[in-house]
């Protein structure tokens, strides 16, 4: 691959709309685009100087030295198997959870294969473009492609993260704990307010979100263990017992979730070393027997 490779994108949805603009802005040559429909590729071509929309995906492969596959995860393997690849090129997918095995037909044809997954939520392309600098990007590839993608990451002001082979599912699901599960936990809290306190969900969120923001701020400043607050972190077994009593009968699913999370908080409080032996024993008995 040359030092300024001709870059193509197959799939011109949310990620491509941001990444193609960002690469162009960083001085890379984005030259070829195709998607399921020509209209979709043509729209992006209008926003990226030098890029041309092609009717077929094979034309993008033929015109490019580096092809980004920015299609839905399940489309990657069949797409790669349906195209003819060359030895003097590279193909890189942007999926978090998909192993490089999905690119095997291209590798067998001699192409270098890799993955480049920005740890970011892409919705509006221009908003994502503004928020991209500083985000991590998980890179998996063998040298020299790894180094080329690392250089590209730095040019985009992303923080490269090396992923060992076979770890993509764990890497990707960990993101759920940091993103969508936080959403789920806030939903759980707002539902309790709605169903038990008679407070509409929107109003509940307005009251609860400052707590969430303050927690994230503390985690950013102090780390997860030091930032832990709440009755488990203080060793207040009596309060935890009251919480469990309030949930046990009428909210069995929330009760089960509370117990799981409180056990995690207890492990963190023990790691922090601020609980007395008696507090630790009381909480362990309370949560352990649930
Ligand atoms: N969205 C995120 O936050 C995010 C973050 C990091 C990584 N990713 C990864 O990036 C990849 C793309 O995600 P996305 O969010 O950009 O998806 P998306 O917005 O749904 O866009 C997918 C694009 O692929 C096209 N497409 C679908 N099937 C195709 C096929 N068989 N051949 C060619 N094009 C096809 C669609 O075509 P049309 O436009 O013609 O309908 C669409 O433009 C995925 O692997 C995803 O896991 C996403």
The pLDDT value recorded for residue 123 is: 85
In a domain, 1, yes or no: no
Q: Within this chain, do residues 141 and 275 fall inside the same structural domain, yes or no? A: no
Q: Which of 165, 189, 210 is the last residue of a domain?
A: 165
pLDDT in tens, 147-191: 999 999 999 999 999 998 889 999 999 999 999 999 999 999 999
**Ligand 1 test: best mutation among 22, 71, 127, most atoms within 8 Å of CB?**
71
What domain range includes position 223?
177-288
Q: Is the CB of 191 under 6 A from ligand 1?
A: no
The total number of structural domains that make up the chain: 2
Q: Within this chain, do residues 68 and 197 fall inside the same structural domain, yes or no? A: no
Q: Which of 144, 165, 186 is the last residue of a domain?
A: 165
- The torsion region of residue 140 among left (phi > 0), alpha (psi -120 to 50) and beta comes to beta
Rounded mean pLDDT, 56-81: 98
In the predicted structure, residue 2 carries a pLDDT above the cut 80: no
Q: Is the CB of 258 under 6 A from ligand 1?
A: no
Q: Is the CB of 158 under 6 A from ligand 1?
A: no
Rounded mean pLDDT, 45-54: 98
pLDDT in tens, 25-36: 999 999 999 999
In a domain, 142, yes or no: yes
CATH number at 116 reads 3.40.50.720
Confidence band, pLDDT 50/70/90 cuts, at residue 271: very high
Using the mean position of ligand 1's atoms as its centre, give its distance from the Cα of residue 202 in Å. 31
Q: Within this chain, do residues 47 and 139 fall inside the same structural domain, yes or no? A: yes
In a domain, 172, yes or no: no
Q: Within this chain, do residues 283 and 212 fall inside the same structural domain, yes or no? A: yes
In a domain, 88, yes or no: yes
Using the mean position of ligand 1's atoms as its centre, give its distance from the Cα of residue 230 in Å. 41
Per-residue CA distances from 73 to 66, 69, 89 (Å): 19, 9, 21
Q: Within this chain, do residues 72 and 130 fall inside the same structural domain, yes or no? A: yes
Task: Identify which of 69, 59, 119 has the alpha carbon closest to the alpha carbon of residue 90.
Answer: 69
Confidence band, pLDDT 50/70/90 cuts, at residue 192: very high
Alpha helices in the chain (DSSP H): 14-25, 38-47, 57-63, 73-81, 104-108, 125-131, 145-155, 168-178, 180-192, 201-222, 224-227, 231-234, 237-248, 252-272, 277-288
Q: Taking a C-beta distance cutoff of 8 angstroms, is the pair 76, 28 a contact?
A: no
Q: Within this chain, do residues 140 and 55 fall inside the same structural domain, yes or no? A: yes
In a domain, 171, yes or no: no
Q: Which of 101, 136, 165 is the last residue of a domain?
A: 165
Nearest CA to ligand 1 atom 25: 11
Which ligand 1 atom minimizes the distance to the CA of 121?
A: 3
For the chain, the average pLDDT equals 96
DSSP 118: E
Using the mean position of ligand 1's atoms as its centre, give its distance from the Cα of residue 94 in Å. 9
DSSP 197: I
In a domain, 24, yes or no: yes
According to DSSP, the residues that pair with 67 across neighbouring strands are: 8, 91
DSSP 120: S
The pLDDT value recorded for residue 289 is: 61
Q: What are the φ and ψ backbone dihedral angles of 116, each rounded to 5 degrees?
A: -145, 100
Nearest CA to ligand 1 atom 47: 95
The pLDDT value recorded for residue 1 is: 67
Nearest CA to ligand 1 atom 31: 75
């Amino acid at each position: 691959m040359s030092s300024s490779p001709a870059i193509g994108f197959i799939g011109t949805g949310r990620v491509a709309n941001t990444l193609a603009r960002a690469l162009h802005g960083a001085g890379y040559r984005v030259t070829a685009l195709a998607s399921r429909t020509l209209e979709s590729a043509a729209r992006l071509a209008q926003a990226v100087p030098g890029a041309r929309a092609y009717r077929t995906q094979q034309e993008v492969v033929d015109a490019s030295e580096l092809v980004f596959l920015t299609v839905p995860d399940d489309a990657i393997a069949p797409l790669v198997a349906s195209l003819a690849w060359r030895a003097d090129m590279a193909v890189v997918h942007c999926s978090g959870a998909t192993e490089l095995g999905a690119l095997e037909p291209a590798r067998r044809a001699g192409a270098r294969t890799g993955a480049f997954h920005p740890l970011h939520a892409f919705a509006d392309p221009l908003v994502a473009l503004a928020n991209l600098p500083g985000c991590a990007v998980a890179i998996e590839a063998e040298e020299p492609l790894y180094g080329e993608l690392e250089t590209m990451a730095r040019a985009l002001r992303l923080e490269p993260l090396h992923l060992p082979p076979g770890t993509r599912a764990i890497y990707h699901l960990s993101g759920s704990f940091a993103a969508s599960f936080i959403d789920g936990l806030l939903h759980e809290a707002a539902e309790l307010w709605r169903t038990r306190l008679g407070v509409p969900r929107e109003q509940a969120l307005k009251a609860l979100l400052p707590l969430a923001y303050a927690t994230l701020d503390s985690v950013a400043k102090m780390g997860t263990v030091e930032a832990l607050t709440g009755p488990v972190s203080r060793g207040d077994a009596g309060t935890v017992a009251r919480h469990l009593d309030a949930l046990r009968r009428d909210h069995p699913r929330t009760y089960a979730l509370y117990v799981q999370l409180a056990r995690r908080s207890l492990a963190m409080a023990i790691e922090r070393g601020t609980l007395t032996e008696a507090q630790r024993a009381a909480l362990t008995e309370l949560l352990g027997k649930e």
